[in-house]
Structure 1
Amino acid sequence: MDDKLPETPAYVYDLAQVRANQAALVRALPAKSILYYSLKANPHPDLLAEIRTGGARAEVCSAGELDAALAAGWPPDEVLYTGPGKRDQDLAHAIASGIRRFSVDSVTGLDQLDRIAAIHGVEVRCLLRINDDQPSPGQGLAMTGVASQFGADTSWVLAEPEKFASRPHVTVSGLHLYMGTNLTTVDDLVAQFQRSLDTGVRLCEVLRKHGADMHMLDLGGGFGAPFARAGEAVDLTGLRDELDRMLSGHDLTIAFESGRYLAGTAGTLYTTVLDVKQSHGKRVLVLDSGINHLGGMSGLRRLPPLVPDVRSPGDDLTDAMLAGPLCTPLDLWARSAPVPDVRPGDVLAIPNVGAYGLYASLVAFLGHPLPIEVVVDGDAPPRISRLALTRNPTET
């Protein structure tokens, strides 16, 4: 692909791979379940349109993501608006846009949503997000069982269920549980979903006694895929049988979420070697892409430290430091990564970065040009675009 690129850095997204990932995930989930795509993974318009066509709904957590989902063609009734903190103006924008289903993390969140809905003269429904009392094993990033901005603790809801009852303009209609991300085995996924189901059923029984109309459980996701490393998304063989067994006899509508599994393996970052040198006995490669384009969030512990697999000319691998072009010693992908013998001008490829790549990076830091984004789909002509960073001056 690199010989066809007009420039680097370049993110290349393969829609055929997106379709294959979505088909595999849908086959692994119960027939009547709902699948939400988490836009935070990658909100590129072409990916959104493809995933919407494949039947997934949209999970958003900002006004910008909401606008992207609506622009991609999702009707408002197929959008779930989540997030642990929501500004009044963002809720007002969502409601004015027709959104009527939200996820709420606290009593304060319920009161806020009721107040904004009342101002607009509408009634909305919400899922109460739950922070369970114990974490689930095998998770890549803890989302529950620890002190968190996400959700109301199970113990809190059980102790004061009346505080989580419906309001005049908000009907509490289900629960939202998300225990962890990037689980890499079916056994870990099953264990997570089983615990979420057990907790969800228990809380539904309690909240129904206080007038809540509990009919949906969003069990989250966590479907794993490699990041910046060679490999395939987690093999989901056997998951559907386990979920069908687990959900047998329950009359709740079940929803799942995914971003990484759908988009992760569909993206590759191409970057050009700018310099190769020796420094204190170490081979150092300086690239035209760094933490401003990939892995910047590893410093925020959102992503693990990056030691990327590199595809490039040559077969003999030796260790090298991989640095980007930023004027800071923090701009390192790896202090030691196996890399072929390359020269300035050679193009390297970092695989499996279609999720949490460009859109989870420090793109404003130091003002380097953003990568181009290239969308490919079989023999169709590639579509090339570049994300625009707009400045909004504030008058004082």
Structure 2
Amino acid sequence: MADLEGVPTPAYVYDVAEVRRNHELLRAALPDRAGLFYSLKANPHPALLTTLRARGARPEVCSTGELDAALGAGWDPADALYTGPGKSDAEVRDALTRGVRLFSVDSPHAIEQLDRLAAEGAVTARCLLRINDDQPVPGQGLVMTGVASQFGADTGWVMAEPERFTDRPRVEVVGLHLYMGTNLTEVDSLYGQFRRSLATARRLTERLAAHGVRVRVLDLGGGFGAPFAKAGEAVDLSALRPRLQELFDEEIPGWRDGAPEVVFESGRYLVGTAGTLVTPVLDVKRSQGKDVVVLASGIHHLGGMSGLRRLPVLAPHVVRAAAGADSAPELDAIVVGPLCTPLDTWARGAKLPALSPGDLVAVPNVGAYGLYASLVGFLGHPLPAEAVVDSDRPGTAPVTTRVSLTRAPVSPASDPTSGVN
């Protein structure tokens, strides 16, 4: 753990050196000619974005806020891929106005919407058809295909009505977007989903070609897994590279010359192991024969979607923050946060060393889907600070920022509810 002197807690601490290492590991697992998008939904912190931009990753965004973050980090809007199963006219218009030209679309309506708004702005846009394949692939962490879904057009639909998925006057259909599942840590599982994606892409490419569509981009998604809120390191996926190169040679002979361009997406693999949440202990007590440890952080700081029984399952590994401070477990504890709900529970039966109010504890590997996938607005508690360190530069002081959701008070004169009983 880096020296956190002067960093207010709770705090998310991000190590940009770990981001660089993860990028190198993932690039080593992918064919040389393959492109790589970073999915900002995992973590849009500016320091992580600028680190990944410098390494050559491109931004994948799915909201105006994420586009703001990507452009603020220095990316050219022409490098962005704008995704999402439902886009308002306002956000598509804004993206086009700022120079975004590549969109993922999920239906004929989305193509027509993009065409209408591109014509309004007197520009031409390109799109990838997102595909919901007919069957899920075994081994997925979170199924993204093969079920009724907001994501993509069913393979059978495109095969049956290809004419509805073709160019419009202001939109050119340039590729396919296939994303089978997420958080896969086994090379065999990843290879299996990419092989299935390419088989589906081949069928669709042939079908669409008869209607004038030339597939020049294949976005195979990602799904590259990483440990979440527990000890561990980035998974070695290097064995994937030779298998993918052989598969590409078999399925898409022109890929080595960029015809089509093959791209992947990653969020959690690139930044997951780069983040640690450090938080104080507020109280330690006994209740009904159980140890209870109350922390300043709960589901409002980490794992809010898990707190609402969403994925990923939340079972954080809590350790002392001070290096070398861990001792033999003395507590068999329920670990909770400060929120006024019994759902604000991180763990039951956690084996912890003796703790006292004021001690600092840490949860490792929460750089992805940590703060930015939590219930930050619930009950109005302040957000944790965010601190950036670089373990390749020991001795460098952390750079700390703090985001606030606090709203300015409304004066009685401007309060529309003033005087209403």
The offset of 1:391, in angstroms, is: 4.7
Aligned partner of 1:170 in structure 2 is 171
- 1:263-278 to 2 correspondence within 5 Å? 263-278=271-286
Give the superposition deviation at 1:303: 2.3
- Residue 115 of structure 2 is aligned to residue 114 of structure 1: yes
Which amino acid in the other structure matches residue 382 of structure 1? P
1:1-396 aligned at under 5 Å gives the runs 1=2, 4-248=5-249, 249-250=253-254, 251-312=259-320, 313-317=325-329, 318-377=331-390, 378-379=393-394, 380-389=396-405, 391=407
| Distance (Å, rounded) in 2 between the aligned partners of 1:243 and 1:184 | 16
What are the Cα deviations for residues 31-74 of structure 1, in whole angstroms up to 9, with x where unaligned?
11110000000000011000000100000000000011011011
Please tell me whether the aligned partners of residues 132 and 178 of structure 2 are also in contact (alpha carbons under 8 angstroms): yes
Distance 1:205 1:49 in 2: 39
| CA distance, structure 2, for counterparts of residue 333 and residue 174 of structure 1 | 42
Question: Could you tell me whether the CA contact under 8 Å between 2:307 and 2:344 is conserved in 1?
Answer: no
Q: Secondary structure at the match of 2:218?
A: strand
State the alpha-carbon separation in 2 of the partners of residues 10 and 244 from structure 1: 42
**Unaligned residue ranges in structure 2 (runs of 5+):** 417-421
CA distance in 2 between counterparts of 1:2 and 1:306 reads: 27
Q: Which runs of 4+ in 1 moved over 4 A?
A: 390-396
Number of aligned residue pairs: 396
TM-score (structure 2 length as normaliser)? 0.91
Q: TM-score, normalised by structure 1?
A: 0.97
Distance 1:92 1:335 in 2: 48
User: CA, structure 1 residues 186+116, in 2 after alignment: closer, same or farther (shift >3 Å)?
Assistant: same
- Give secondary structure in 2 for the equivalent of 1:254: strand
Distance across 1 between alignment mates of 2:130 and 2:376 = 31
Query: Which 10-residue stretch deviates more, 382-391 or 151-160?
Result: 382-391
Q: Shift of residue 266 of structure 1?
A: 0.3
On the 8 A contact 2:130/2:176 being kept in 1, the answer is yes
Whole-Å separation in 1 of the counterparts to 2:397 and 2:141? 37
**Whole-Å Cα distance in 1 between the matches of residues 186 and 400 of structure 2?**
36
> Which residue is 2:419 aligned to?
none
Q: Is the 8 A contact 2:85 2:106 kept in 1?
A: yes
Give the 3-state SS of the residue equivalent to 1:4 in structure 2: coil
Amino acid at match of 1:357: G
- 8 Å CA contact retained: 2:115, 2:168: yes
- How far apart in 2 are the matches of 1:164 and 1:390? 45
* 1:300-350 deviation line (CA, Å, top 9, x unaligned): 554233111112133222421110011111111112222221111111110
Return closer, same or farther for 1:90/1:297 CA change in 2, 3 Å cut-off.
same
RMSD: 1.6
Residue type at the aligned position of 1:288: A
Shift, 1:390, TM fit: 6.3
> C-alpha distance in 1, partners of 2:3/2:52?
26
Q: Are the counterparts in 2 of residues 307 and 337 from structure 1 also a CA contact under 8 Å?
A: no
The worse-fitting range, judged by mean Cα deviation, of 38-47 and 305-314 is 305-314
Alpha-carbon distance in structure 2 between the residues aligned to 1:176 and 1:388: 36
Question: 2: CA distance between counterparts of 1:343 and 1:395?
Answer: 44
1:395, distance to aligned residue in structure 2 (A):
8.9
